[in-house]
Structure 1
Amino acid sequence: MNLLKKATSALLIMGIVISCDDEGFIPIAPDDSFNGETAAVFSSFSTATSGDGTVVSVTPITVGVDSYVVDFGDGSPITGAQGETVTYDYPNINASEDYTISVTAGGTTKTADITVNHSVESISTAPPSPEGKRYNLLNIFTDVTSVGSGASGGKVVALESGNNLLEFSRLHSESGVLELSDEVVIADAFYSGVGSSNIHFDVHSNFATGIDKLKITFVDNTNAVNHVIDDLDLIDGEWVGFDFDLSTDFSPAVAQFDEILFELGTGGTANDHATITVDNIYMTRMTGATILNGDFEDGQDFWKWTTFTDGETNPFGSSSDGSDFDYDGNDTGGKTRGAKWSSSQSGGEFRSSSSRYAYQELVLTPGANYVLEYQYAIKDDSGTDPIGGRRVVGLILDQHYDDGADAVDNLGNNLGFNEGFVAEGKFSDTDNDFGTLVQIPFTANSSGEVAVMFYAVSPKDAYVDNVKVIAQ
């Protein structure tokens, strides 16, 4: 008796199959006129489906039959004894497949056509989410809120933890296709002129139902170019993290892409439903001296905190009262956006849970000289000034901070700062609608990891615009 089972709870779906040419045939009971022998009668058989949909059991309804043979239409016949049920686990290669089951007993054969629908057993574990800060990750598929181009494809598996995974199956005959909503241009992945040099994937495979080698292809449909990396070794039953250099690991080097294909790697083996699970597809920002969104035309992008204990992750308030000069120093003839702090958003002696601090990380050349440049303006309306006067503060912090509260508590740990006290009204009220220009020279530390930070201490609105870090 074949006792093949899968380790899942069984969903039993029973059906009686009766051959049309024997319909109405009634089993014959023992009769003394036949010297007490029972006539061999085979009237019908029933089928039951369980597990992931591929486990099918057959139970013939017979009288006086010692054994019977079942041909499941996929492989060698299986023999069962009177009153027994035989079970077969169909392969999970295709999502749906039609078979003909034949049962032979007592010299009679009956058949039935069935459709076996193969379901995929999903995993229930996930890798850790990336630890990179909000605007240093370009999210293609993760559960981390970040700048992203979005993607669709594969089956999304939602875990009880709230984490989502991507599942690709049938990789022995198909490709897992992940389509991006926007094309990723490597050199401009994060911002104009600010790109990425690498990409990360987390991949999981159970070899008994998956694959052992992986091939990944970045498809550039615009230029009809495929960028391939092949023969990647997976680990049975474990999450594996892959980090690839977009310039050197793919052939040819990746310039842009709008699809990612997952396939069986060359020389690999695919078993059963050939499934892999993927998570944490992201690119990391190539940090340098370039300030992102330094004119604040994209609102709070690249200035917002990921974490701020007992504080506000938003960096400043919205504004339409920025400088009349654009980022390149041209007079636009009208106001730009800029960043604004109201009295309730001020720090310093006004610090509260509503205070706001703009923050952006850089990775500079260690020991090199730079200048932090920006414009500011402060309203001169009447109000109760803080001790020392209303001001806008700009700093170059001597390290990166995960929590905004830690940065505020360590403002003295800086490579340079300026307190601007000129309060002549918003930009449009100052000479040439320019506000006050600040330039703070500083030298990068030994790690090159610094951060630019701004806040205001004022009973009235204060503004910052056109932030730059200039190498000397």
Structure 2
Amino acid sequence: MNLLKKGILAILLTGAIVSCEDDDSIVVPNEGNGGTGLTEITFPGIPTSSVKASGDGTIITIRPQGLGVTSYVVDFGDPDSTSDIVTITEDAGTASYDYPNNLEEVTYTITVTAKSDQGFADVVQTKNVTVTHKFESIDTAPASPTASFYNVFSIFTNGAEVDGNFVSYAIGDAATGGKVVALESGNSILEFSRLGADDGVLELKDEVVIADAISDDVAVTNIHFDVHSIFETGIDKLKITLVDNANSVNYVIDGIDLTDGEWASFDYDLATDFSAPVVQFDEIKFELGTGGTATDHATISVDNVYMSRETGSTIINGDFNDKQNFWKWGVFTDGEKNPFGSSSDGSWTNYDGTANGSKTAGAKWSSSQSGGPLRSSSSRYAYQPLVLTPNTDYILEYEYTLKSDNSSNEPIGGRRIVGLILDDHYTDGADAVDGISSNLGNHVGTIAEGKFSATVGTTVQIPFTSNDSGEVAVMFYAVTPVDGWIDNVKVFEAP
């Protein structure tokens, strides 16, 4: 049995009659293929010749040779075809067959029957050939996502493209399944093949609960797919199923029309577009859609599988119990993406305003992390975008405190914690810092009383009016030779 990769396989069938006069001489008969003196067909076994790559599928070519033969009937052994039997009548002729590519690997039995018009009995030879089908991957990718750093739950995507580089999203789940293809562009795509016979399955590491996908009580609302199919070798309709194995529930969208030879983008509302509102799932299944056609190796390419939420109007992780999450930068050119130093030295007041009796979590800056006039590549700026009701009065509230230790490196203007509301959204932290002067309100806090305690901590309220778009952002930084903290950050409409 021979294992053949894609390409052209030439099988040469040869034979000869020889006669030995003695040990030192070999006499070859003068008779031709149909000459006199033959009493039977001489047709030896089927040797395998060379293999050459040639496109999708595998083309097998046979050139049978024997004596006493006037024709060959070649049955290429494809049970699903009526055109896999070929007759050769010319001398040194060949027969070829292009095997279908709908299965990845299959073993065929090739049968060659040698026939004669001289009344000789037919001679039959067979050979088993295992064909492994491969195909060329596409070398194109769809546009990268544009959603912001904390608005996406990534399932399979290289991330957002910023200045020619891919920036991975903060939240996601490792997914396995399909064939990952690395493109020359640096992007990666997934391939799912044989969808005419099998399902393509993308398994998540853990189940995704829609209501808590981004964070506790922070839900995603939509799911996105980019899909590419060449109809000649793929499928024209797609079925997508989100599978909840824990509860044996399937959420289905069927009959999705693909675009021949192009990437197509699909966005679905998780509450309304599937067969039922999606609660949770741990597997995504890709299948041939109802009424669709699967051709050849029936391959689709998939990219940018992710779920998203809209930027909200409520500060997330304003109590810093979730450490740096939702305050961290995805990109900060020549700067530090971390927003502050982790700390448990936060306010003694809970987020709801009640007394805690001891410290809570908080955001801390040290002297080396200071910004403003002390800005360096180590400076840290906390940032969170919001979308508010346009042209509406709001209040940014938070608590802060600074150490009261003496220092010989006191900055000009004194040590301080700065809070402000930016008049835009920013992808790159460096751009946001450069645009600090374009703000809707700010506060420079200079009260230095030491760490938070039951009696230490200053509450700040900054009134501001949202802009025409409602797209604003909250930012904090410190300018200090000693430690400073903030906690309990909130944005709410002014009473």
Determine the C-alpha separation between the residues in 1 that align with 2:93 and 2:483: 85
> Counterpart in 2 of 1:114?
129
Deviations 1:269-315 (A, max 9, x none): 10011111100011222322221222222222211222222222221
Letter in 2 for 1:133: S
> Counterpart in 2 of 1:123?
138
1:148-163 map, 5 Å:
148-163=172-187
Determine the C-alpha separation between the residues in 2 that align with 1:285 and 1:449: 15
Contact 1:168–1:275 (CA<8 Å) still a contact in 2?
yes
> Counterpart in 1 of 2:21?
none
1:404 counterpart = 2:413: no
Alpha-carbon offset, residue 11 of structure 1: 6.1
> Counterpart in 1 of 2:73?
69
Determine the C-alpha separation between the residues in 2 that align with 1:183 and 1:148: 11
Determine the C-alpha separation between the residues in 2 that align with 1:17 and 1:301: 70
Determine the C-alpha separation between the residues in 1 that align with 2:386 and 2:135: 45
1:16-31 map, 5 Å:
26-27=16-17, 29-31=28-30
> Counterpart in 1 of 2:412?
387
Contact 2:388–2:472 (CA<8 Å) still a contact in 1?
yes
> Counterpart in 1 of 2:474?
452
Deviations 1:340-394 (A, max 9, x none): 1111211111112221111111111222332212111111111122222111011
Determine the C-alpha separation between the residues in 1 that align with 2:442 and 2:34: 112
> Counterpart in 1 of 2:87?
79
Q: Aligned-pair RMSD on alpha carbons?
A: 2.6
Alpha-carbon offset, residue 424 of structure 1: 0.8
Q: Scaled by the length of structure 1, what TM-score is found?
A: 0.89
Determine the C-alpha separation between the residues in 1 that align with 2:210 and 2:430: 33
User: Runs of 5+ in structure 2 lacking a partner?
Assistant: 19-27, 116-121, 160-167
Alpha-carbon offset, residue 193 of structure 1: 2.1
1:314-329 map, 5 Å:
314-329=338-353
Alpha-carbon offset, residue 33 of structure 1: 12
Distance 1:417 1:61, change over 3 A: same
Determine the C-alpha separation between the residues in 2 that align with 1:438 and 1:82: 98
Contact 1:211–1:264 (CA<8 Å) still a contact in 2?
yes
Contact 1:49–1:55 (CA<8 Å) still a contact in 2?
no
Match of 1:344, SS state, is helix
Determine the C-alpha separation between the residues in 2 that align with 1:361 and 1:163: 28
1:242-261 map, 5 Å:
242-261=266-285
Match of 1:230, SS state, is strand
Distance 1:240 1:287, change over 3 A: same
1:349-368 map, 5 Å:
349-368=373-392
Alpha-carbon offset, residue 448 of structure 1: 1.1
Contact 1:46–1:60 (CA<8 Å) still a contact in 2?
no
Contact 1:215–1:262 (CA<8 Å) still a contact in 2?
yes
Deviations 1:313-356 (A, max 9, x none): 22112223222333333444443332111112111111122211
Contact 1:217–1:229 (CA<8 Å) still a contact in 2?
yes
Match of 2:421, SS state, is strand
> Counterpart in 2 of 1:22?
none
What is the aligned counterpart of 1:60 among 51, 58, 64? 64
Determine the C-alpha separation between the residues in 1 that align with 2:32 and 2:469: 102
Between 1:335-344 and 1:57-66, the stretch displaced more is: 57-66
Distance 1:27 1:317, change over 3 A: farther
Distance 1:17 1:179, change over 3 A: farther
1:231-380 map, 5 Å:
231-380=255-404
Determine the C-alpha separation between the residues in 1 that align with 2:101 and 2:202: 23
Determine the C-alpha separation between the residues in 2 that align with 1:209 and 1:262: 16
1:424 counterpart = 2:455: no
> Counterpart in 2 of 1:216?
240
Determine the C-alpha separation between the residues in 1 that align with 2:188 and 2:287: 21
> Counterpart in 2 of 1:183?
207
Alpha-carbon offset, residue 456 of structure 1: 0.6
Distance 1:53 1:269, change over 3 A: closer
Distance 1:287 1:32, change over 3 A: closer
Alpha-carbon offset, residue 65 of structure 1: 3.7
Determine the C-alpha separation between the residues in 2 that align with 1:236 and 1:277: 12
Contact 1:31–1:38 (CA<8 Å) still a contact in 2?
no
Match of 2:65, SS state, is strand
> Counterpart in 1 of 2:164?
none
Deviations 1:93-141 (A, max 9, x none): 2222222100112431101122222234322221122122221211111
> Counterpart in 2 of 1:470?
492
Determine the C-alpha separation between the residues in 2 that align with 1:182 and 1:260: 12
> Counterpart in 2 of 1:3?
none
Deviations 1:411-435 (A, max 9, x none): 121121111111111224xxx1652
> Counterpart in 2 of 1:6?
none
Match of 1:451, SS state, is strand
Determine the C-alpha separation between the residues in 2 that align with 1:423 and 1:86: 92
Contact 1:211–1:275 (CA<8 Å) still a contact in 2?
yes
Determine the C-alpha separation between the residues in 2 that align with 1:388 and 1:468: 27
Determine the C-alpha separation between the residues in 2 that align with 1:394 and 1:320: 20
Alpha-carbon offset, residue 152 of structure 1: 1.4
Determine the C-alpha separation between the residues in 2 that align with 1:318 and 1:82: 84
Same amino acid, percent of matched pairs = 60
Contact 2:423–2:471 (CA<8 Å) still a contact in 1?
yes
Between 1:59-68 and 1:35-44, the stretch displaced more is: 35-44
Contact 2:449–2:456 (CA<8 Å) still a contact in 1?
no
Deviations 1:205-247 (A, max 9, x none): 1111110011111122344322221211111111111111222
Determine the C-alpha separation between the residues in 2 that align with 1:389 and 1:37: 116
Alpha-carbon offset, residue 60 of structure 1: 2.2
Contact 1:195–1:286 (CA<8 Å) still a contact in 2?
no
Contact 1:50–1:56 (CA<8 Å) still a contact in 2?
no
Letter in 2 for 1:201: F
Contact 1:198–1:243 (CA<8 Å) still a contact in 2?
yes
User: Runs of 5+ in structure 1 lacking a partner?
Assistant: 1-8, 19-24
Distance 1:120 1:98, change over 3 A: same
> Counterpart in 1 of 2:100?
91
Q: Scaled by the length of structure 2, what TM-score is found?
A: 0.85
Contact 2:34–2:67 (CA<8 Å) still a contact in 1?
no
Between 1:359-368 and 1:34-43, the stretch displaced more is: 34-43
Letter in 2 for 1:59: R
